[in-house]
A and B are shown apart, each in its own frame.
Chain A
């Protein structure tokens, strides 16, 4: 019954919109159970949306990544120009870019799951029989999903902790750190969705007799 009481505590905490209460509600380990259910639902739902709205599938993560990348470069570039030409520098020009980098890296991590471009030693897998290859792909799915779950729960706790401590981005007056940190649990959800999408493709390839493994090319989809 503990699980239900923890669940009701979490729901009421979310309803209260109070960061300290949410932080307390996220502490029990039953949060992993809720996280797993949430990821399973949101992962499959997002994979379904990706399938039916290809524009989102193709451009959502890419847009976030490119925007954060260019914003990071732009802020740093302007920071140098500002210092040399105008003898001035915005105090946040060195503190906001790392957060943008974090968003780009985490969303990039999710995007690379879909592209299957995360570094791996695939020589043995390529030489395996078809069923063994599928088993390896299933293993990848499970490992990504469980990792996404751990990332979701642990980073949600960090977000709640940051919000309850009113952590402000250095060099700003009122920009909260948790606004940026929230991108981590969102990226975890995207990772789960990408893993679901991949395994759906793998099952379909297994049934249709298409090759299960393809040569992944970094930047091949750009």
Chain B
């Protein structure tokens, strides 16, 4: 048997393992092991490379730190304040709570960098209220799942960090390029949400009150400060994305600890509504104690313990793919499609279908080094292509069979996986429309980067 047949057999074998429910990490690892034997490579490369990914990558450190930021703002009550503000702004529209949920996802994503953390946090916070507010529970769960996709596009973003790390692109530029497309994704999903809610008559309307908007905005000041801190630091180049993540973690811990202390000194009742609270009381959030910090950190560590080894093994897989000549084969196929738009859309189709069956990190690690040079070859700006690629990868979070956000939303809302699929369709249509618009309009991604 020739090498090609053997590699095909190995690929079919690991796909079978995947269908049997074997962890994705092992599926990739055994593909790497099998192909290493076929190519006559020593397995030592795998062990060495797994370690290299970590200890040679300061940039990758931003990933665990932004995950931790997400958990800290959730536990401190800052995320709740952001969602209150979003609801105060949008509650007067039909489907306002669902739209606020998407807006809260956008705000949460601007501090955290994780899609699943966004879905889990906003879903667990707003799903019960949406169900109480007369929304279909399947739609509510689908909204949380779809909202989470912006978690990795609006900066800071874990996947932009991985992309920049792999492709040697400035992560700060990638972050800035993600701002407008991320905002467009939120607006696109909100529009889809509004249409669905109007058609079904879901949700209760609350009057738009200036005092409520102002007070909840005041209450969310810590969140806005954190967002400003991250964006200011990265945009002005005062610190690197990893340092921005470290600073945000430090800020959230200090804010959480001080808030807990002040709220106890002020004898605040966390159950009081915004109307009962004074502006002074809105200044501080619930916070957490020093003893709660390890517990909060542990949750982030658990997520990092899933994602980081997956990144490491995917990097090794990418190397094996290069040795197998996959880069050449896919490259030839994509290049044969023709010029600028043909290459762009072929790359998008590949990313979309890969996102359906693979987690976004392996998709990025495996496909980005293959597709990005081809796109650059036909004149697509590397930063623009990164945004196109990653918006596509983020859509993969809500495409079955392997849509991570669908699993997370199902887990936090209790709505079975297959039942919420139907209601993700309008969001998918909205996201794909935004994706096509972003790909056809480089200015959307590059507008805030005038020097490019």
Residues of A within 8 A of B (CB): 62, 65-66, 69-70, 72-77, 79-81, 94-95, 97-99, 101-102, 104-112, 115, 117-126, 136, 139-140, 143-144, 147, 150-151, 153-155, 157-158, 177, 180-181, 184, 215, 217-219, 222
B402 part of interface (Cβ distance < 8 Å)? yes
Closest to A159 in B: B51
B305 part of interface (Cβ distance < 8 Å)? yes
Which residues of chain B have C-beta atoms less than 8 A from A99's C-beta? 54-55
User: Which of A75, A98, A119, A140 has a CB less than 8 Å from the CB of B56?
Assistant: A98
A109 to B53, CA, bound (A): 15
A151 to B30, CA, bound (A): 12
Q: Is the interface of B mostly helix, strand, loop or mixed?
A: helix
Shortest C-beta distance, B158 to chain A (Å), equals 13
Decide if B30 touches A119 in the complex (CB within 8 Å): no
Interchain Cβ contacts under 8 Å between A and B, 6 examples: A105-B54, A119-B359, A121-B21, A144-B26, A155-B47, A222-B299
Which residues of chain A have C-beta atoms less than 8 A from B51's C-beta? 102, 155, 158, 181, 184
Decide if B60 touches A101 in the complex (CB within 8 Å): yes
Contact indicator per residue, chain B 246-258, by CB within 8 Å of chain A (1) or not (0): 1101100000000
Shortest C-beta distance, B436 to chain A (Å), equals 28
B1 part of interface (Cβ distance < 8 Å)? no
B345 part of interface (Cβ distance < 8 Å)? no
A140 to B46, CA, bound (A): 20
Closest to A97 in B: B61
Interface size for chain B: under 10, 10 to 19, 20 to 34, or 35 or more residues? 35 or more
The residues in B between 1 and 56 inclusive whose CB is less than 8 angstroms from any CB of A are 17-26, 29-30, 33, 43-44, 46-48, 50-51, 54-56
Decide if B43 touches A119 in the complex (CB within 8 Å): no
Which residues of chain B have C-beta atoms less than 8 A from A108's C-beta? 301-302, 304-306, 308-309
Q: A119-B25, A121-B21 are in contact. Are A98 and B50 (CB under 8 A)?
A: no
Closest to A120 in B: B23
Which residues of chain A have C-beta atoms less than 8 A from B64's C-beta? 69, 72, 101, 104-105
Closest to A63 in B: B294
Shortest C-beta distance, B245 to chain A (Å), equals 7
12 new A-B contacts at CB < 8 Å, known A98-B54, A101-B308:
A73-B68, A76-B65, A76-B246, A98-B61, A105-B305, A105-B308, A105-B309, A108-B308, A124-B21, A154-B43, A154-B44, A217-B411
Decide if A158 touches B305 in the complex (CB within 8 Å): no
Q: Is the interface of A mostly helix, strand, loop or mixed?
A: helix
Q: A80-B247, A105-B304, A154-B44 are in contact. Are A124 and B20 (CB under 8 A)?
A: yes
User: Which of B60, B305, B417 has a CB less than 8 Å from the CB of A107?
Assistant: B305
B88 part of interface (Cβ distance < 8 Å)? no
B293 part of interface (Cβ distance < 8 Å)? yes
Decide if A79 touches B301 in the complex (CB within 8 Å): no
Shortest C-beta distance, A156 to chain B (Å), equals 8
Shortest C-beta distance, A178 to chain B (Å), equals 11
Q: A73-B68, A106-B309 are in contact. Are A80 and B302 (CB under 8 A)?
A: no
B295 part of interface (Cβ distance < 8 Å)? yes
B57 part of interface (Cβ distance < 8 Å)? yes
User: Which of B22, B46, B61 has a CB less than 8 Å from the CB of A72?
Assistant: B61
Decide if A66 touches B301 in the complex (CB within 8 Å): yes
Decide if A109 touches B246 in the complex (CB within 8 Å): no
B353 part of interface (Cβ distance < 8 Å)? no
Shortest C-beta distance, B214 to chain A (Å), equals 32
Q: A66-B297, A104-B64, A106-B309 are in contact. Are A80 and B243 (CB under 8 A)?
A: yes
Q: A73-B250, A119-B24 are in contact. Are A154 and B302 (CB under 8 A)?
A: no
Shortest C-beta distance, B74 to chain A (Å), equals 11
Shortest C-beta distance, B306 to chain A (Å), equals 5
A77 to B251, CA, bound (A): 9
Closest to A62 in B: B298
Decide if B298 touches A118 in the complex (CB within 8 Å): no
A153 to B312, CA, bound (A): 17
Decide if B29 touches A109 in the complex (CB within 8 Å): no
B404 part of interface (Cβ distance < 8 Å)? yes
Decide if A219 touches B303 in the complex (CB within 8 Å): yes
The residues in B between 202 and 245 inclusive whose CB is less than 8 angstroms from any CB of A are 239, 242-243, 245
Indicate the member of A77, A94, A95, A106 with the most B CB atoms within 10 Å: A77
Which residues of chain B have C-beta atoms less than 8 A from A72's C-beta? 61, 64-65, 246
B197 part of interface (Cβ distance < 8 Å)? no
Decide if B249 touches A77 in the complex (CB within 8 Å): yes
Decide if B312 touches A105 in the complex (CB within 8 Å): yes
Question: Closest 6 CB pairs between A and B?
Answer: A108-B305, A154-B47, A76-B246, A125-B21, A102-B54, A105-B308
Shortest C-beta distance, A200 to chain B (Å), equals 19
Closest to B44 in A: A154
Decide if A76 touches B242 in the complex (CB within 8 Å): yes
Decide if A98 touches B57 in the complex (CB within 8 Å): yes
Q: A77-B250, A123-B401 are in contact. Are A180 and B24 (CB under 8 A)?
A: no
B341 part of interface (Cβ distance < 8 Å)? no
Which residues of chain A have C-beta atoms less than 8 A from B57's C-beta? 98
Closest to B407 in A: A119
Which residues of chain A have C-beta atoms less than 8 A from B242's C-beta? 76
A217 to B407, CA, bound (A): 11
Decide if B22 touches A120 in the complex (CB within 8 Å): yes
Closest to A219 in B: B299
Indicate the member of B55, B56, B60, B293 with the most A CB atoms within 10 Å: B55
A102 to B54, CA, bound (A): 5
B310 part of interface (Cβ distance < 8 Å)? yes
Decide if B43 touches A139 in the complex (CB within 8 Å): no
A191 to B33, CA, bound (A): 18
Decide if B302 touches A118 in the complex (CB within 8 Å): no
Decide if B29 touches A101 in the complex (CB within 8 Å): no
Closest to A191 in B: B309
Shortest C-beta distance, B46 to chain A (Å), equals 6
